[in-house]
Chains A and B, each alone.
Chain A
Amino acid sequence: MILQQLINGLALGMVYALIAVGYSLVFGILRLVNFSHGSVYAFGAHIAMVFVGMQFGIIPALILSIIFTGVLGIAIDKIALAPLRAKKSKAIAALITTIGVSYIIQNLLMIVFGSQTKFFPKLFDYGNVHIGGVSISTTQLFIFGVSLALLLLLTFIIRKTKIGLAMRAVEQNPKAANLMGIDVDFVITFTFFLGGASAAIAGTLISGYYQVVYPTMGFLAGLKAFSAAVLGGIGILHGSIVGGLIVGVSESYAAAFLGGGYRDAVAFVILIIVLLVKPTGLFGKKGVVKV
């Protein structure tokens, strides 16, 4: 039972990690918590559902969803956030804008697709694998594998490629990076694309796991992923992964031992504890404000 819940939690946690990475990436570069990320995730799930419904098959649907959602991420930046940066608005303006964007996306999804819960086919369901007393479904294995591969890919992009180097430079100091010939705007656009793409994949995976899609699905998932990002230290990639796994596992234990009604509250409790004990998160460094 305990081991079984651990497996369930790990699969779930990997997906949370994938969403949390989206928060971390944008936060690292813009010092902004992108509230619209949860709705972007729901958008990705809906796009995947549309293409699966059109008999595209799951892999092409996933790829199309990545492209559409990535473009949505870029659009959010270009239409809503870039003008604010150009005007040098205060941080609170950008924060409120992302809240508004999130709300618009969520409600447009509701108007277009209806607010009811819709069916999503199960991903890669080839029965269960039994190891000892634990049964692991192939869907869980698939989710775990895909998320892990993607997180490794993201780490590779950021650590080893040229654009990754540029991203790290912008993260440290946008002005200096600009002087070194880095196209800061392009880096920000690319970051939003990465965030959108990872949210689309996470959305598709979670929909395939629970077999449901609904417009407000991004709300709680976004909240949990944010808790995960804060737990690991927001802005730090491997922190998000560890945070995601902890949130996922504790959620599945809570569902098993406290009952389903309060399972969604666990992430919030974790968030409050982290803020009380160590606001910088597990791997975060203390930020120094220079004047």
Chain B
Amino acid sequence: MEKISLQFDRIKEKMNFIKPNKKRDFLLLATLILALPYIINSQYLLRIVIMIGVYSILALSLGLVTGYAGQVSLGHAAFYAIGAYFSAVLSVNFGISFFITAPIAAIAAAICGLLLGLPTLRLSGTYLAITTLGFCEVVRMVLLNWEKVTNGPLGINRIPRPSLLGFDLTLANNGMYYLMVFFLVFTTVVMLAIVRSKIGRAMMAIREDELAATMMGIKTTTYKVIAFVVSAFFSGLAGAFYAHMIRFIDPNTFTFDTSIMILSIVILGGMGTIKGMFLGAAILVSFPEVLRFLQEYRFVVYGMVLVLMMRFRPQGILGGQKKTAYKLPKGVIVDINSNNSSIEVREAMNTVEEVI
């Protein structure tokens, strides 16, 4: 297994020889994404692609907490559920448009994230894992028992389709697909912006060594809470989208299994990467469809993904050591050659994205 992991790195290195042309690649990718529904031309496949998109949003949001800030959350299904139910209840009972309910639902999820994050994120990572696990269960309990609003175990059905200027977006007219692409791009852009900013660097510092980060003057709790709240927001958004796409939600959609699946995607794709989330989602969402004979064992496979990846390739498929040197901010001059321990410094600078 470890050899396979090494092979993988080698292949990735070789791939780097293909000169990346950013503009060309970007245009190609954009065209492909926009033309995809006309290429595959099958509602069944399109539905899977949309689910991959939804799980990519979820994985991106968990990736910020787990991959960048280094905190394990097992309750992202709860935020997913809060977003879905909030949006569904508002639009079914009050007839509000999806484009208004979705942001409200996402903000509601973010507020829940804040309330949950404040007490738990002061402490070590384990507490967050357990509390979010419990939170997920409590949310499910409320959804099951608060029948007046959530309709209990029967769930909410006939959730209205999102409509834009009187035009219903459906699966058949590809409207849902483009809406998903819009949300996914929005999420990705925000995540990239966060990760590349001061906030993102602070989060990575916390992930690498919380104690050292504190010593450098980083307010660890603040940044962990920021990561968690942003993450909850996007999970809620994904939930709202899901509710209006499937048009039926019940508490069984948002169980611990969903949380584990999101975590598996993040681990498989690579903690601390953005690209990895798409790859992980594509693999894990499509695999029960592709490998039908493994259907019964799919949850065991998710567990195996977690255990085996941690054992043999903890950085995930696309994670790894960066080969490019870390760009220092302007005005900071480090003369490597004059340093006695030059090799060490160079190594330290090359491995910003360290192996977990």
Bound Cα distance A94, B123 (Å): 18
Knowing A219-B256, A271-B134, say if A107 contacts B119 (CB, 8 Å).
no
Contacts of A267 in B (CB 8 A): 134
Knowing A100-B305, A103-B306, A223-B134, say if A111 contacts B125 (CB, 8 Å).
no
Bound Cα distance A101, B130 (Å): 15
B130 close to A33 (CB less than 8 A): yes
Q: Is B170 an interface residue (CB 8 A)?
A: no
Contacts of B72 in A (CB 8 A): 92, 95-96, 99
Q: Is A209 an interface residue (CB 8 A)?
A: no
Q: Is A121 an interface residue (CB 8 A)?
A: no
Contacts of A279 in B (CB 8 A): 122-123, 127
A265 close to B141 (CB less than 8 A): yes
Contacts of B133 in A (CB 8 A): 223
Say which residue of A80, A95, A101, A271 sits within 8 Å of B129 (CB atoms): A95
What 1/0 flags go to A252-273 for Cβ under 8 Å of B? 0000000001101101100110
Q: Is B70 an interface residue (CB 8 A)?
A: yes
A97 close to B123 (CB less than 8 A): no
Knowing A84-B310, A89-B314, A272-B119, say if A99 contacts B300 (CB, 8 Å).
no
Contacts of A264 in B (CB 8 A): 137, 141
A104 close to B304 (CB less than 8 A): yes
Contacts of B303 in A (CB 8 A): 100-104, 107
Please, which residue of chain B has its CB at the minimum distance from the CB of A32? B126
Say which residue of B125, B134, B211, B267 sits within 8 Å of A268 (CB atoms): B134
Please, which residue of chain B has its CB at the minimum distance from the CB of A276? B119
Q: Is B19 an interface residue (CB 8 A)?
A: no
A275 close to B267 (CB less than 8 A): no
Number of interface residues of B (CB under 8 A): 40
Bound Cα distance A267, B130 (Å): 12
A226 close to B119 (CB less than 8 A): no
Q: Is B260 an interface residue (CB 8 A)?
A: yes
Bound Cα distance A261, B150 (Å): 15
B119, B126, B141, B305 interface centre (most CB from chain A within 10 Å): B126
Measured CB to CB, the closest approach of chain A to B186, in angstroms, equals 29
Chain A contact surface mostly:
helix
Q: Is B321 an interface residue (CB 8 A)?
A: no
Number of interface residues of A (CB under 8 A): 44
Q: Is A220 an interface residue (CB 8 A)?
A: yes
Bound Cα distance A95, B66 (Å): 12
Cβ < 8 Å to A, chain B residues 103-162: 119-120, 122-123, 125-127, 129-131, 133-135, 137-138, 141, 144-145
B300 close to A268 (CB less than 8 A): no
B135 close to A103 (CB less than 8 A): no
Please, which residue of chain B has its CB at the minimum distance from the CB of A226? B130
Say which residue of A33, A90, A101, A110 sits within 8 Å of B126 (CB atoms): A33
Q: Is B307 an interface residue (CB 8 A)?
A: yes
B138 close to A265 (CB less than 8 A): yes
A104 close to B263 (CB less than 8 A): no
B299 close to A107 (CB less than 8 A): yes
Cβ < 8 Å to B, chain A residues 9-32: 32
Interface residues in chain B, defined as those with a beta carbon under 8 Å from any beta carbon in chain A: 70, 72, 74, 119-120, 122-123, 125-127, 129-131, 133-135, 137-138, 141, 144-145, 211, 256, 260, 263, 267, 296-297, 299-300, 302-307, 310-311, 314, 356
A-B pairs, top 6 by smallest CB distance, nearest first, are A100-B306, A104-B303, A103-B303, A268-B134, A100-B307, A261-B145
Q: A96-B263, A262-B141, A275-B127 are in contact. List 20 more A-B contacts (CB 8 A).
A: A33-B126, A80-B307, A89-B310, A89-B314, A90-B314, A92-B125, A95-B129, A96-B72, A100-B302, A100-B305, A100-B310, A103-B260, A104-B307, A107-B300, A110-B299, A223-B137, A227-B134, A261-B145, A268-B138, A272-B131
Listed by A's residue number, 12 A-B pairs whose Cβ atoms lie within 8 Å are A80-B311, A83-B311, A89-B310, A92-B356, A93-B356, A100-B306, A103-B303, A103-B306, A104-B300, A111-B300, A268-B134, A272-B131
